[in-house]
Structure 1
């Protein structure tokens, strides 16, 4: 059965796009080579933690969304959007294996006049280089002449109540002006504003800049957190005051790590390394170790050793109020505490089970009782359900890595 749109890759990038398209009345299929997400979606369940809720998945299905593992379906659509994952490889460059596989599956069935869009984070030049070559070789068609080809960086803020798909401008860069306009016509059905880049390389570099911007600025405030602790300065008050400046400043806040799906890229293919991004990565990667160091120091200052101490970790997801643990620093913090001999437990309303080093971490059923029993409670994520003032009263010792507790009620990062 023909469809208007195929979303290729049903992960964190693809599912929200498929949801937005279905809600806009676009006949949409979701294709994935992995049968697991397809089976989960077909059963009305979300295959990706923190992406979509069960009611949202069911609304998509009732709206006509069809998940499939049948590649033949790709030959019956007008638009195909590749949303394959591109994790960092051992050499700190993006692994394009999944994008290449998705492109090959599409190329074998690509029809003339189809619009092909790429949303996965990729090095600049991928769309008009690797992707174009795979599509043209596999289909016998010519990009820009027989089918449209463009890039649009994925822009998602999972769980946000203010930055939904429709309200977030979409940047597009096509291989030709006609490719750009075809992409604009598609995204114009989903979002209130479309921004045309000069070409696919510029659009690809937008994603690189946006992701690295976040990581570099988080690294700056993470370094400021360490410095301010040494100086006895309240960084959170510094940020509160600084963000009143109406120009030249954007507030970022420190934490136990970064997390998330947008990975910083400090090396782009054979090009020169981005030294500032590389340094920012080193700073951010040290934060879990710094949190453990602060925890051990606090215990020592209160006459307790980390060895044998009962440590309760609160909130082990990378973002508040979501079950997504991608890149969360909680795992490394737990491992380092265990290495010191601490007895680690956790509480998180969104995560029923947690394993570290293939061993189950005890889950606290009663938050207040667990905090009162623990020698040290460490707030790693401020879920909305946490009464932090009440928690500060119950906890024997509280380390707040998010600056979320009322001033003077806890030790802040």
Structure 2
């Protein structure tokens, strides 16, 4: 099939871009494509997301409504739950979750179901791109067979590629358009099409030799972070036992102009990438009889941090003359990182459960999360609401545990009126 006409439509911004999954990855990508001049049709099974987006309303706190409303008013952006409209798109970008099962194995159910839905409506000449983080080989081993079961062939009738998302929610310096995009395709034609499309959306593209290589790039980025965070978390435990301030150590070490990159300890890992992605490679490596000991050790260190924090909290409360069982604790911040409303894999939720398991009572304050939504791992916490941060409130608790360092918090009030502060974020 001649890909020339589709290449030209991408370069002329005359193509329709379909984005499946309008969450933390799909929504900013849809807005970026619409602002670049493309017609964007978003797909999601969440009726609330669809309705709000069609009204020009943002449902993600760090994404403002104004540019969404402008894109909707200009007929550049629309959303639907009607997947029979998939053939309207020249390119379909898949941005659905890839979580882990309880046994820390890849859960590709969202990717597989989405691909089956695409297959039901697949037409010749479409570019299909997976953006969801996964193990090397997913694009060609999972998506390709499902799509080719239609009788259409990848590289001839449709084109298949992988381009990992690199979103950093709430980062004011690096929005979607400012982050280079790695692209790998199932064949030269797919790579050329994916590169042509993303070149219109982001500052630059980074083509690699295959979809599997692009999948490995994403895992490598986040494994690098997970391993280094585990290292500094372990140093925190060791230096605390020695009476050394790990933050002072890191601040001094980072003055070296080469050979050192600062990472910082915390109460555990959170977010949609770092706690999850390393285990996609760990799982895939078993197929080759390889044990990823270093990655798994990092996972163990990071997974233990909430327990370490709660133990330190309990010791501090006990030293103050109050039994930890029955103590009242204010957990400050439940989002996984500062200044966002994203609680996916947040260590604060684990902290809350561990504290209550030891008999203490916990409330939380988070200016970005007024109420805890249902989650896969912590469903019993759903519905809890943030308490106001006042002098009387803070003074009424036996301890304040800072789990997330939001800027929109009066830390002076806490320092002056809390009986005890345990700070995991410096």
**What do the CA deviations read for 1:180-208 (whole angstroms, capped 9, x no partner)?**
11111100111111101111110010111
Runs of 4+ residues deviating >6 angstroms: none
Hey, what does 2:270 align to over in structure 1? 259
| Mean Cα deviation higher: 276-285 or 365-374 | 365-374
Hey, what does 2:11 align to over in structure 1? none
Q: 1:55 to 1:257 in 2, by over 3 A?
A: farther
Hey, what does 1:92 align to over in structure 2? 104
Q: State the shift of 1:56 in Å.
A: 4.5
Q: Does 1:297 align with 2:310?
A: no
Q: 1:285 to 1:192 in 2, by over 3 A?
A: same
SS at match of 1:80: strand
Q: Hey, what's the Cα distance between the residues in 2 that align with 1:70 and 1:360?
A: 30
- Higher percent of residues as helix: 2
Hey, what does 2:344 align to over in structure 1? 326
Hey, what does 1:129 align to over in structure 2? 141
**Preserved CA contact (<8 Å) 2:310 2:354:** yes
Q: Hey, what's the Cα distance between the residues in 1 that align with 2:256 and 2:410?
A: 31
Q: Does 1:285 align with 2:303?
A: yes
Q: Which runs of 5+ in 1 are unaligned?
A: 404-413
Instruction: Return the TM-score normalized by structure 2.
Output: 0.89
* Aligned counterpart for 2:53 among listed residues 19, 32, 41: 41
Q: Hey, what's the Cα distance between the residues in 2 that align with 1:353 and 1:181?
A: 45
Hey, what does 1:407 align to over in structure 2? none
Q: State the shift of 1:3 in Å.
A: 6.0
Q: Residues 28-107 of structure 1 correspond to what in structure 2 (within 5 A)?
A: 28-47=40-59, 49-50=60-61, 52-63=63-74, 64-107=76-119
Q: Residues 210-359 of structure 1 correspond to what in structure 2 (within 5 A)?
A: 210-262=221-273, 263-266=276-279, 267-269=282-284, 270-271=287-288, 272-354=290-372, 357-358=380-381
**Preserved CA contact (<8 Å) 1:264 1:277:** no
Q: Hey, what's the Cα distance between the residues in 2 that align with 1:281 and 1:117?
A: 29
Q: Hey, what's the Cα distance between the residues in 1 that align with 2:53 and 2:170?
A: 19
Q: Does 1:192 align with 2:203?
A: yes
**Preserved CA contact (<8 Å) 2:56 2:70:** no
Q: How many matched pairs?
A: 400
Q: Hey, what's the Cα distance between the residues in 2 that align with 1:304 and 1:59?
A: 56
* Aligned counterpart for 2:177 among listed residues 149, 163, 166: 166
SS at match of 1:181: helix
Q: Does 1:111 align with 2:120?
A: no
SS at match of 1:160: coil
SS at match of 2:90: strand
| Mean Cα deviation higher: 32-41 or 319-328 | 32-41
Q: Residues 178-189 of structure 1 correspond to what in structure 2 (within 5 A)?
A: 178-189=189-200
Q: State the shift of 1:359 in Å.
A: 7.4
SS at match of 1:113: coil
Hey, what does 1:395 align to over in structure 2? 418
Q: Which runs of 5+ in 2 are unaligned?
A: 1-13
Q: Hey, what's the Cα distance between the residues in 2 that align with 1:359 and 1:21?
A: 34
SS at match of 1:195: strand
Q: 1:360 to 1:200 in 2, by over 3 A?
A: closer
